[in-house]
Structure 1
Amino acid sequence: VSKQVLEQVLRELQPLCTSEQQFLQELFQLGHDSMGLQAPEVKVSVVSSPLPFSSLSSSLAHPGEEATAQLLSELFSCLEPELRAFLDVCRRAHPLGCLQVLVAVSDSVFGAWGSSPAPPSSFLHTVLGNVLLLAKSSFNKCIGSLCKEMEEAKAPSRMRGGILPCVSRFQDFVAFSEEVFRTSRRRRELDKAQLRLASSVFSSINSLSSANLKVNTDMVMMENFHHIHSFLCQKNIPCLEDKKREAEQRFREHMEKYIATYLGQPLERLNHFFDGVKACLAQGVKAEEVSFQLAYSKQELRKVIEKYPGKEVKRALETLYRKIHKYLSPEENLLPVVWQAMEQEFMRQYREFEELIQRCYAGAGIALDFTMEDLLSYFNSITVSN
């Protein structure tokens, strides 16, 4: 409502000032055809310095128009202070009212004159130019405060996952600002602001790595970067394309870390055993000599494999699924994505185990108690039943 009222006020100022300007020019013969005439001596107190607009400078190059502007400054000496006060009221009417004020004043300065058949009032142009500088200053201060607030925000101490407040704040700002600037032809200031805020949000999410959260940090970062990426895909804002790609990349990075954290749990002792085998190979032990290492003998491998029959593996996977389901935010619907990635990584791990057995324990008749087909069946059963 405040934006509509402000636009109405600005629209009505133009014909008022233009009409008064024409009246003064006719009364005192201050038109272009009477430039040689002596302009009436007028004692004025100029409201404020004119804007350094090229169009304004050229318009004030004529002595007649300069005298007209001086007369209007005297007649409307209260206009700029009152307009500034009114803009302040409009700005305070909404948490992001400075955006509405900036668009309304900017459109009035750069767009209104082109649609008017009458010559513009250089006096009003000067006043609006000064007010526009004020609107830009308020806008920049607002963006600076938002950036600082986001960068210094701390994750809730009892956070159990979900979307961070700073991410929601960024989303609200982008949605609101896009609506406000929807019909504006000048969005350079908005593009800069959105990029600044996006960088601040990314910085805030990254700071979680050092936070003492009660849940998996990579899970929280994964969900929030995924949320930002999905939101920016919906909005399709050109200036944020790089941030959209970065959000997707960071989402995948943290999903991989999250999966790696839980991947070893279902087959913990098998993982530990084969990590030791890989360490031996990395230290230069020949593959055929690994089984002669006491800790990685054929007998030790058989003992470990015996602890993971097919039924135990399926039970462990079911436990893992419930744990992931418990902590992932349902709003993001990432469970199917994470579970599928978990399945693919589990298959890769299984192939690696088989390869190490064939490489280091060839001819020993040792094999895992479950097959690749069994694993696929376990994952499919868990997915269908949930």
Structure 2
Amino acid sequence: QIFEQVLSELEPLCLAEQDFISKFFKLQQHQNMSASMTEEDVDGSSLSRQHSSGSLLPVSSEKDMIRQMMIKIFRCIEPELNNLIALGDKIDSFNSLYMLVKMSHHVWTAQNVDPASFLSTTLGNVLVTVKRNFDKCISNQIRQMEEVKISKKSKVGILPFVAEFEEFAGLAESIFKNAERRGDLDKAYTKLIRGVFVNVEKVANESQKTPRDVVMMENFHHIFATLSRLKISCLEAEKKEAKQKYTDHLQSYVIYSLGQPLEKLNHFFEGVEARVAQGIREEEVSYQLAFNKQELRKVIKEYPGKEVKKGLDNLYKKVVWHSMQDEFIRQYKHFEGLIARCYPGSGVTMEFTIQDILDYCSSIAQSH
């Protein structure tokens, strides 16, 4: 707000002074003057003397004269604006977003009035500094992503730079709404999101306490949610990519994890399927010693309802819970199908039902 106030008050002040100089020295009468004048010569007294004596003013044009006089009067503006910009950048590098938008707008306005004026030139010079700070802000964020170190003893959740990208994007979208410099932001987004993607994968590969699939799944779910909420058009492809990565690692994690609460049951039925794949007819599998009805009953007995619920409870993760339920039910139906086909008429069934699974999942979700 201070930055905008300074620019808003500076603009009419400069224009008013420029208008005063033009009228006071009646410069519109001297548009055909061709001699040059050094900056040191351009001051009020010399102009007044030359004008009163009727001699030609030694400047190449009226605009050059006005600009030279404005430089003499307002030579402090550019360094002072740069000092203000440096202070804002020091307080928070994200201030460069706001300053880029505001400064660009004022440069655009000044150039529409007179592209060669003192105000246009000065603000244009300062805009270069602001843009440099904006670029530095983006580069620093990418560098910080690359330097992130995760403790070997700590579990990995949403990574700091993923949360920071969300903060940056939310702020940027509010600042750059309908701004002239949208192209600069879109270029920055492209650099940042690639940095986020690459470094999420890097951390996931290095993580020791948290499975790689979990790191990938949780962070890309967060990225996808952020991009979906903000609707950043230049990142549509990255939004789809984030969703695909999230989905792939979710599926991988769910399949891997659900082997744990029903581990022995999984191994048993993997053996059944292996025998069928070798050419044994499904209804004859029960005659195999390792896979007869007694062995089936024995392994099923190890998974009463309370044990299944306990296993599911240990797996609870909010972001994947519905997928966990769906996959668990799919596995349950798959096992039931194998029992029906490979052990027909045996009367052997699981010790829990689909309704039990739904009840367990509901209870677990409510308790977390």
Same fold at TM > 0.5: yes
- Say whether residues 1:347 and 2:325 are aligned partners: no
CA displacement 1:198-249 (0-9 Å, x = unmatched): 2212222111332232133322322222222223322222223322222222
User: In the alignment, which residue of structure 2 is the partner of 1:49?
Assistant: none
How big is the shift at 1:367? 6.3
Q: Give the counterpart letter for 1:208 in structure 2.
A: V
Q: Give the counterpart letter for 1:369 in structure 2.
A: T
CA displacement 1:238-272 (0-9 Å, x = unmatched): 22332222222222111111111122223322322
Q: Give the counterpart letter for 2:102 in structure 1.
A: A
**CA distance in 1: counterparts of 2:289 and 2:283, whole angstroms:** 9
Q: After TM superposition, list the pairs within 5 Å mapping 1:211-226 onto structure 2.
A: 211-226=206-221
**CA distance in 2: counterparts of 1:232 and 1:92, whole angstroms:** 29
Q: 1:299 and 1:14, CA in 2 relative to 1: closer, same or farther beyond 3 A? A: closer
User: In the alignment, which residue of structure 2 is the partner of 1:145?
Assistant: 140
Q: 1:289 and 1:37, CA in 2 relative to 1: closer, same or farther beyond 3 A? A: closer
Q: 1:236 and 1:357, CA in 2 relative to 1: closer, same or farther beyond 3 A? A: same
Q: 1:305 and 1:84, CA in 2 relative to 1: closer, same or farther beyond 3 A? A: same
Q: After TM superposition, list the pairs within 5 Å mapping 1:305-344 onto structure 2.
A: 305-309=296-300, 312-325=303-316, 328=317, 333-334=318-319, 338-344=320-326
Tell whether the 8 Å contact from 2:283 to 2:343 is kept in structure 1 after alignment. no
Tell whether the 8 Å contact from 2:93 to 2:137 is kept in structure 1 after alignment. no
How big is the shift at 1:342? 2.5
Instruction: Give the stretch that moved more between structures: 245-254 or 141-150.
Output: 245-254
Q: Aligned pair count?
A: 346
Tell whether the 8 Å contact from 1:266 to 1:317 is kept in structure 2 after alignment. yes
- Gap regions ≥5 residues in structure 1: 46-61
Instruction: Give the stretch that moved more between structures: 249-258 or 313-322.
Output: 313-322
Q: After TM superposition, list the pairs within 5 Å mapping 1:347-386 onto structure 2.
A: 347-353=329-335, 356=338, 361=342, 365-366=345-346, 368-370=348-350, 374-386=352-364
2:169 to 163, 167, 174: 174
CA displacement 1:107-129 (0-9 Å, x = unmatched): 11113565xxx757711111111
CA displacement 1:27-66 (0-9 Å, x = unmatched): 44443x6432345623359xxxxxxxxxxxxxxxx83213
Tell whether the 8 Å contact from 2:261 to 2:308 is kept in structure 1 after alignment. yes
User: In the alignment, which residue of structure 2 is the partner of 1:17?
Assistant: 14
Q: 1:223 and 1:22, CA in 2 relative to 1: closer, same or farther beyond 3 A? A: same
User: TM-score, normalized by length of structure 2?
Assistant: 0.81
How big is the shift at 1:318? 0.7
Q: 1:304 and 1:76, CA in 2 relative to 1: closer, same or farther beyond 3 A? A: same
**CA distance in 2: counterparts of 1:347 and 1:8, whole angstroms:** 62
- Say whether residues 1:8 and 2:5 are aligned partners: yes
Q: 1:82 and 1:299, CA in 2 relative to 1: closer, same or farther beyond 3 A? A: closer
Tell whether the 8 Å contact from 1:267 to 1:308 is kept in structure 2 after alignment. no
User: In the alignment, which residue of structure 1 is the partner of 2:68?
Assistant: 70
Tell whether the 8 Å contact from 1:158 to 1:214 is kept in structure 2 after alignment. yes
CA displacement 1:111-165 (0-9 Å, x = unmatched): 3565xxx757711111111111111111101101101111331234343343221
Q: After TM superposition, list the pairs within 5 Å mapping 1:116-135 onto structure 2.
A: 122-135=117-130
Tell whether the 8 Å contact from 2:104 to 2:180 is kept in structure 1 after alignment. no
% identity of equivalent residues: 35
Q: After TM superposition, list the pairs within 5 Å mapping 1:267-286 onto structure 2.
A: 267-279=262-274, 285-286=278-279
Instruction: Give the stretch that moved more between structures: 184-193 or 338-347.
Output: 338-347
Q: 1:171 and 1:14, CA in 2 relative to 1: closer, same or farther beyond 3 A? A: same
Which fold has the larger relative contact order, with Cα–Cα distance below 8 Å and residues 6 or more apart in sequence?
A: 1
Tell whether the 8 Å contact from 1:109 to 1:128 is kept in structure 2 after alignment. yes
User: In the alignment, which residue of structure 2 is the partner of 1:201?
Assistant: 196
**CA distance in 2: counterparts of 1:345 and 1:289, whole angstroms:** 24
CA RMSD of aligned residues (A): 3.1
Q: 1:381 and 1:78, CA in 2 relative to 1: closer, same or farther beyond 3 A? A: closer
- Say whether residues 1:187 and 2:182 are aligned partners: yes
User: TM-score, normalized by length of structure 1?
Assistant: 0.78
Q: After TM superposition, list the pairs within 5 Å mapping 1:22-61 onto structure 2.
A: 22-31=19-28, 34-38=30-34, 41-43=37-39
Instruction: Give the stretch that moved more between structures: 252-261 or 208-217.
Output: 208-217
CA displacement 1:322-370 (0-9 Å, x = unmatched): 2123xx3xxxx42xxx3432233233334444555566x476x456422
Q: After TM superposition, list the pairs within 5 Å mapping 1:240-251 onto structure 2.
A: 240-251=235-246
Secondary structure of the residue aligned to 1:369 is coil
User: In the alignment, which residue of structure 2 is the partner of 1:90?
Assistant: 88
- Gap regions ≥5 residues in structure 2: 42-59
Q: Give the counterpart letter for 1:258 in structure 2.
A: Y
Secondary structure of the residue aligned to 2:303 is helix
